[in-house]
Amino acid sequence: MWIPPRNRNLAGSELTYQLKKRKWSNIEPHEIQDQYYLEGKIKKTLEKFGKNKKMATTDDKLSKATNDLISKRTEIRGKIKLSVLEPIELTELNKIIKRKIREDVRNFEVELAEEIIENTWSTRKAKKALANSTKILPRIKSKAGKVTSNREEINEIASNFYRSLYDDAGSLSGDSDHWSRLVLNKTIPAPISK
């Protein structure tokens, strides 16, 4: 369970408030009771502000105001018959929601990056957490068996591999033994006609 960055200040102030209400004992026999109380309050705070997911989804990134606008738009879209002004309102809502989503996601990413950098001092971790694209190939082994992580060398090795792969396929067109090993079903399908 985790608490999204947007809710952490609220969760912290709620937990502080709950813990200030308790009169803490300095006597040893009551120490275990204090630990149980503290554990219970932390669990209740997690239940109230936390999420059961490992990663943030788009819904976690949006503010309450944006979610309210989205529910209002859904309500208008759900109507069977719209009044004269409702299509105009729906268009304006769409524009505002699109702008707000972009703003909320950007704010979430800034908060996440700040938190990661403050806690770990690692810009690489922040970059990985915010990456939306597929992960690039970190390293590759050449034909000689040398492992490299240099981007230019990786591109060169991959280019050479595919170049040789397609060159070999063209030169082996006369080698029926090679192609018969590759073909699983030796029946040739009939061409599709109209």
Q: Residue length, the chain?
A: 194
Q: CA angle 43-121-150, nearest 5°?
A: 125
Does residue 193 sit within a domain?
no
C-alpha 191/C-alpha 194 separation (Å) is: 10
How confident is the model at residue 181, as a pLDDT?
A: 53
**What is the identity of the amino acid at 79?**
K
Q: Is the dihedral of CA 109, 115, 121, 124 positive or negative?
A: negative
Pair (8, 47) in one structural domain: yes
126 with 117: CB under 8 angstroms?
yes
Q: Which pairing describes strands 140-141 and 147-148: parallel, antiparallel, or unpaired?
A: antiparallel
Pair (8, 68) in one structural domain: no
Give the E-state strand segments of the chain in sequence order: 140-141, 147-148
Pair (89, 121) in one structural domain: yes
Does residue 186 sit within a domain?
no
Does residue 108 sit within a domain?
yes
Pair (117, 47) in one structural domain: no
CA 169 → CA 79, 157, 173, distances in Å?
60, 18, 7
How confident is the model at residue 128, as a pLDDT?
A: 76
Pair (61, 130) in one structural domain: yes
The domain in which residue 140 lies consists of: 136-166
Domain boundary among 54, 79, 94: 54
Q: Residue 160: name the closest of 150, 149, 168 by CA.
A: 168
Helix (H, G, I), strand (E, B) or coil at 140: strand
How confident is the model at residue 103, as a pLDDT?
A: 92
How confident is the model at residue 133, as a pLDDT?
A: 58
110 with 118: CB under 8 angstroms?
no
CB atoms within 10 A of CB 56: 17
Pair (38, 67) in one structural domain: no
Pair (140, 124) in one structural domain: no
Does residue 88 sit within a domain?
yes
Pair (119, 106) in one structural domain: yes
108 with 130: CB under 8 angstroms?
no
C-alpha 15/C-alpha 43 separation (Å) is: 10
CA 98 → CA 83, 92, 116, distances in Å?
23, 10, 27
Pair (107, 94) in one structural domain: yes
Does residue 38 sit within a domain?
yes
Taking 70 as the pLDDT cut, the residues of the chain under it are 1-2, 4-6, 24-30, 51-59, 132-136, 168-194
Pair (63, 18) in one structural domain: no
How confident is the model at residue 30, as a pLDDT?
A: 60
Does residue 171 sit within a domain?
no
Count of the separate structural domains present in the chain: 3
Pair (115, 67) in one structural domain: yes
Pair (127, 145) in one structural domain: no
